Every structure is written in C-alpha cells, then in structure tokens.
Amino acid sequence: MNHFILEVGVEEMPARFLDSLNRELEEKFADFLGEAGLDFGRVCAASTPRRLAVDITGLAGTQRTEEVVVSGPPARIALDAEGRPTKAGLGFARSQDVDFSQVYVEETDKGAYLAVRKTVGGRAAADILAEACVRILPSLSFPKKMQWMGRECTFGRPVRWLLALLDDAVVPFSFAGLDSSRETRGHRVMGPGPLTVPHADVYESVLSGQGHVTLRAGDRKEAIRAGGDRLAHEAGGTVIWSEALLDQVAGLVESPQPILGGFHEKFLELPEEVLLTSMETHQKSFGLRGGNGKLLPYFLTAANIESRQPELVRRGWERVLRARLEDARFFWEADCAATFDGWLEKLDRVIFIGPLGTMGDKTRRLEKLAAFIAAETAPELKADMARAGRLSKADLVSEMVYEFDDLQGKMGGIYARRQGESRAVADALYEQYLPAGQDSPVPATMGGAILSLADKLDNLAGCFGLEMIPTGAADPYALRRNALGVCRIVLEFGLKLDLRALLRQAQAGYTGVDWKLVPAEALDRLMDFFGQRLKAFWSAQGVETLVLDAAMAPGFDDISDTRQRVQALAEFSRAEDFEALALTLKRASNIIRKQGDQPLTGKVDASLLENAAERLLLETVEKVEPLWAGLAAGRDYPAMLGQLRVLRPVVDGFFDGVMVMAEDEALRANRLNLLFRVTDMVGRVADFGRLQV
C-alpha cells in the first residue's frame, strides 16, 4: 500500500481558519478518491499557521477496474443492408478506442443497438491524486480570500510552496503559479529550509527534526498544557485552562514554548473577570489560581520560538500585559466613582436599533417585561426583576465595558454589588446574556433566567415587527440564538409559561413604532420561528421528525409541556403495537380532515346509533374521557397514550361494522361527530394523522 503527503505552504493564516479547513480537506479528498474508485485506508488533515497538510495512507497503486457495456447508435443507421459498418458505426468504434471487430449488436426493448464491452479504470494513483489536488485546492472555503499575482491566484493566504509525494515520487501538478516538489519549509526562524523530504513516510520527522515544527494541533496543545502545568506548579498554582483559548493558541504557533510571566500584585484588586479578560482576550494568555481559589499574580502564554534569551521574551509579554492592566485599573476607578443614575441618563442617547428607540427605552421595556415574567414564575422576585430590567444595559456606557465589550453584563452585576443592589438584581445583571451560544450554559439563578428571557423576547418582538427575519445563513441580530436561548432556559428551569402570551407582552412594550408587520402577523411568524428552533433542538437529540410533527401539532405555547408530550410519544413509538395503533388513529384523523369546513361538535345522538359497533364506541369513549381528563390534568402523557390500547380495537370494530359516510345525512353527521370526539380527545396529545405508517 502507498502513502501520499500533500502540503500547501502559505503565509500565516488566522487560527480560526484551521479546524474547518482540516475537516473540509478530509471530506473532499475522501469523497474524490471514493468516486474515482481509488481504494485508501485513512485520510487525515493537519495544519499550522504556515501550512495545510493532507496525509493519506493505505492507498492502492491503481484505480479499481470494472467491465462496462457502452451502448452506441441504432443498428439500422450504424450498419448497412449487408451488415457492414457505416460512418456512424465506425465513428462509434473510434470514440470508444476499439476495433470495429469488438463491436456487437445488442437487442433492447427499444430495438437493436451497437454496443461494446470494455474495461474501465486502472489509472495510476499518482494521476488521480494530481487531479484531486488541482480540483480540491481552489474549492476550499475561507471566510475571506486574498488575491496576489494580479487576479490570477486566490486563496486564504498567498501560497508559497507545494509538496506532493506518493511514497518517494513527486506527484506533479500546478497551483497558484507553483509546481509541486519534494521541498518543504520549517519554522520561519529555527528551521527555515528549504528542507528536502525523501519519502512520504518521513515527512513529519523532517518537519519536527530539521524544521522544528509540530504539525498536529493536538500535539501542540499537549505541549502547551504539559509545559504550562509544570510552570504553574513551580509557581504554586494551577492554570485556568480554557479549551477554546487553548485551541486558538495552538493555532497561532508552530513550535509552542510555554512561558510564565508575572504582574504587580496591585492589579489583583481588580475583579477577576477583568484580569482574565485582559489576559485571555487581548494577550491570548491563561491566568493562574492559587490553592485558596484566588488569582495569582502570574500568567501563562506560549511563544512561537525557542529563544536564546527567554527572559527577554518574558519581559516583553509582561510589559504589554502591564499596559493593558493599567488601562483596566483606570477604567475601574473611573466606574467606581460613577452611579447607575448617571449611566441611565446616558442610555437615552444610545441607539438600540434605529426605529426601536434608545437603550434607555429598552431598559424601560425590560423593567415591565421582567416583572411580568417574574409574576408568572417567581412572584417574590417581581420588584427585584423590575429593578434589574431598568439597570440591565447601564454598564454599556461604563468605561470598562466600552474598552472590554466582552464584559457587558458581568460588569453590571459587579457594579450592582458595589452600589448596594440586592443579590438577586446583581446576579440577574451578571447572567442576562446567557446562554451566549449553543454550548454556553444557561443562567444559574432564577433572576438571571427571567432577565435573560425578557431581553431575548424583547429583541425578537422588535426585530420581527420590523421584518428583520433571518433568511438563509444571515442572522445579524442573532435571533436564532435568542430563540434557542429562550427555549433552553424554559426547559432547563422547567418553567410553565405561555410563549404566545410572553411574545404578545413583549410586543405591547413597544409604543410609537412604525411596524412593517402588524403585531398579529409578526406574532404568527414568531411562533413559526420558535417551532422551527424547537424541532431542530429536539431533532439534534435524536427525536424523529414525524414524531415531533405529531407531538407539536396540538400547539407548543407551553414549551415544557410540549417536551413532555414529545418524550412520551417518542417512547410510545418504540412499542411493538405502535404502528397498528397509529394506523387506526391516522385513518380516523384522515376521515375528519377530509370534511373540510363541515362543522363537527362531537355531540352524538344516541338514538341514531343503529349498529352495535358504534354503540360500543360511544360507551368506550364515555368511559375513557374522564380518565383521560384526569391524566391530562396531571400531564401524565405516557398513561394517556396507554389508553389508546383500550380505544383501538373498538375503533377498528367501528370501521369494520359501520359505514361512516352513510347516505342519510343525519346518520352520517352523527357518525362523523362520534369519530370527531375520538380524534379531538386524542389530538390533545398528538396528531396521529401526521405520522407515516
């Protein structure tokens, strides 16, 4: 088996590019080789800021071969009366690169046609790999592409060299004005090269040895982690590792060298959040925590060079961080001298979203909306939540948040504690933007949950009213994230809330806005939007789409209740008799649905029941209904679905023994109402008509 290495050398690329490029390279090479019929073992991509590499092992030497039949023109035009080939027949043979003696006549349903059997495939692996490189590299996705050499070349960053080796042979191709070779480059300072790679098997060893480059991001992360833990232990602390930041730092270096730096203890007077943000966001460094749980006056970073003067490198990092911390200290002292009242006045001069007024207007809406939600969920917090809503955006005009915008909300909570606000208010301000993404946690406190709900609902109501509705990938106001955040908070806190009523209340908070959509239409579209988010959320957890459609059909205004129905139906759908049950109820639903606008009330006239099967159905329904109502009150959906086993044989008997669509109008209406009574009762749990059985 053969071994292939492709390396594309580039000018330094941003760390955020690398992971997605690795995945894309692996997928595209695997797909291309699979379609080409070239067998392989594994495709693995790796990258550093200066290179993209593809490593393919277990390659076959040649493409798979197979015999195919190629049809040609009809025999009536390809052969003359004596059976000799015409120009059409000879042309077909030439096009297939065969002698005409290899051509035969094939009888088909459409008549006689010329045909030829030929063996296809068998191309050399090197040829297929060269074609793969030429096709895949220009197709790679980048957030932004650069042009160089005029407009002839476009890529994420200018390409400087190409290495392509199949075992010990160069795979020849050209890209970005360069020809492939067996030469690579090492670390820009410690092993610049060019370096010759004699065989694909030794590519990584050449890079790591002569080139001083650690190719794989996982290895770079472990080098940083191991070195950082050792240095932190020597300083008497532990590193505050952030996996996201560690991924980013590993994407910035080719030869990671952990460095422990320090700063003056006076800066420990700053809030921990400020210190860590200065380190992590601006300096791509990690903080250290002592045994007492408090921050130590140290930071850990990773240089991209093994310096002969490490002390000089360390002092350089310390000098830059000290400047950032001095700025933060100045902002902190300025903010501590300010008040919420002063900040609230400034909010009236800060625009929220053009037609939706100022941030001051938003806080006045949140004051009311947060109090409304609290009254529904935690009445004892109503006054605190009103206060939290009013103060929610005050920190946006603080000096600290103006400089460190990642700290919005958090600084509001910190300042609230310093200025004597209640713990509930301070916690709510601190957590108001959670969850900040799919993997972000929800607020830890009820106050934080309430204020976060109010903020997100206000955003959604305002943007939908202006018809700023996400389309495709575009979502500039993060409305999908807002809606999912609402769903997650409601579900994780188990809140019993009416989503439609909440959105209507959020809409009512806006006054004097020139809406593009009338509130009723905007509300309907908002509910559809939430429905899509919920389906996507539960689908990601493994719930089948049809089950979701059926369970959500009765409505999803109460998201927590809907989850219970979804879970119950998902579990019920795995029962052996589910298909038979669903088929019976689907048949009933379809009959009722076909009646269109015909008014059905569920009122049944017992005197019109002519058949024993329909009388038995009415008796069974009358027995099940009170049980069903009691179970519904307790939201015991598994038990409710279990009652379907009582109904099914009776409904089946009704279908077997009764002509529902009787000619007599009164009989037909009575039987439809009886059937409607069944479907209406069952439909409060799920619409079985939406299931495919």
pLDDT tens digits for 399-447? Answer: 999 999 999 999 999 999 999 999 999 999 999 999 988 888 999 999 9
Residue 244 near residue 305 (C-beta atoms within 8 A): no
Task: Please report the beta strands in 65-103, taking only residues with DSSP state E, as ranges in sequence order.
Answer: 65-74
Residue 149 near residue 177 (C-beta atoms within 8 A): yes
Residue 464 near residue 522 (C-beta atoms within 8 A): yes
Look-up: residue for tokens 């040609």? 72
Q: Which residues are CB-contacts of 549 (< 8 A; sequence separation ≥ 6)?
A: 535, 687, 690
Looking at residue 651, its amino acid is V
Token representation of residue 147: 């042009």
Residue 321 near residue 299 (C-beta atoms within 8 A): yes
- Could you tell me how far CA 98 lies from the centroid of its own chain? 53
List pLDDT tens digits, range 478-519: 999 999 999 999 999 999 999 999 999 999 999 989 999 999
Question: How would DSSP label each residue in 161-208?
Answer: EEEEEETTEE---EETTEE-BSEE---TTT----EE---GGGHHHHHH
pLDDT of residue 534: 96
Domain boundaries, the chain: 2-62+125-210, 63-123, 217-337, 341-518, 563-690
Looking at residue 99, its amino acid is D
Q: What is the DSSP letter of 691?
A: S
The parts of the chain modelled with pLDDT lower than 50 are: none
- Could you tell me how far CA 16 lies from the centroid of its own chain? 16
Considering the segment(s) 563-690 as one domain, its CATH architecture is Orthogonal Bundle (1.10)
Report the alpha-carbon distance of residue 77 to residue 86 in Å, rounded: 7
Nearest CA to 356 out of 217, 512, 252 is that of: 512
Say whether 525 sits in a helix, a strand or coil. helix
Token representation of residue 682: 């069952």
Task: Please report the beta strands in 75-148, taking only residues with DSSP state E, as ranges in sequence order.
Answer: 104-108, 111-121, 146-148
pLDDT of residue 609: 86
- What Å distances lie between residue 115 and 85, 90, 98, 106, 486, CA to CA? 13, 12, 11, 6, 64
My answer on whether omega of the bond before 435 falls inside 30° of 0, hence cis, is yes
pLDDT of residue 150: 67
The torsion region of residue 167 among left (phi > 0), alpha (psi -120 to 50) and beta comes to left
Domain 341-518 has CATH 1.10.3210: yes
Q: Quote the radius of gyration of the chain (alpha carbons, Å).
A: 35
pLDDT of residue 289: 96
Predicted TM-score (pTM) of the model is 0.81
